Amino acid sequence: MLENAKIAILVEEQYQDLEVWYPYLRLKEEGAEPVFVGTGSAEEYRGKFGCPVKVEQNIGDVSYGSFDAVIIPGGWAPDFIRRYPKAVEFIRAMDATGKVVASICHGAWILASADIIRGRRLTCFSAIKDDVINAGGKYSDEEVVVDGNLITSRRPEDLPAFVRQVIDSIYKAREKKRGN
């Protein structure tokens, strides 16, 4: 379904292992090209459970124009990622151009830093719902919430529904772009 679609998966230290690897593998199954994009602070990061991921590109070297979507996994990584202005600018540009922006768990921290959730409906890990609300978001405790090009989920248990929605949204966006 997603042949030649290029999807950035943001990574940093202490990412949530399942929220990186499950989407990565499912996207590859669909023919997409998922790319691990790091902040530039290291060539490899370890997840909360110790699984390593090798960075393929650094955020300072990528352009939003070369990606169809971005996935922001949770864990503690989003707190590190949002400290990099290039990462925040990347998310803001992806959203502004209508590309799929998908966030799960603590990934909403980056959405708040990018100031793209004001007035939008979304979900996140319950511990940061106040952050989402204080950033102007309309919090909803659901498995998956879609608001335009923004897709959000709460936790690892939501991954099957989250990734199905990401795949479907990327497919529909590509079809629309082709005029189908």
* Confidence band of 1 (pLDDT split at 50, 70, 90): confident
pLDDT, residue 178, reads 85
Residue 134 maps to a domain: yes
Residue 25 maps to a domain: yes
Tell me the C-alpha distance between 3 and 154, whole Å.
28
Catalytic annotation, pick one of 72, 100, 105, 112: 105
Tell me the C-alpha distance between 157 and 60, whole Å.
32
Quickly list DSSP for 89-103.
Answer: HHHHHHHHTT-EEEE
Structure-block tokens of residue 156 = 């690892």
Query: How many residues appear in the chain?
Result: 180
Which residue segment(s) compose the domain that 55 sits in? Answer: 6-178
Tell me the C-alpha distance between 92 and 101, whole Å.
9
Residue 125 maps to a domain: yes
pLDDT, residue 168, reads 98
Residues contacting residue 143 through CB under 8 Å, at least 6 positions apart: 123, 153, 154, 158, 161, 162
Q: What is the CATH number for 149? A: 3.40.50.880
Catalytic annotation, pick one of 26, 82, 99, 106: 106
What confidence tens digit (pLDDT) does each residue in 11-45 have?
999 999 999 999 999 999 999 999 999 999 999 99
Residue 173 maps to a domain: yes
Residue 1 maps to a domain: no
* Confidence band of 135 (pLDDT split at 50, 70, 90): very high
What confidence tens digit (pLDDT) does each residue in 116-133 have?
999 999 999 999 999 999
Q: What's the structural domain count of the chain?
A: 1
Q: For the full predicted model, state whether its pTM sits above 0.85.
A: yes
User: What is the amino acid identity at position 171?
Assistant: Y
Decide if 105 is catalytic.
yes
What confidence tens digit (pLDDT) does each residue in 93-114 have?
999 999 999 999 999 999 999 9
The pLDDT of residue 179 is above 90: no
Number of neighbours of residue 36 by Cβ within 10 angstroms? 18
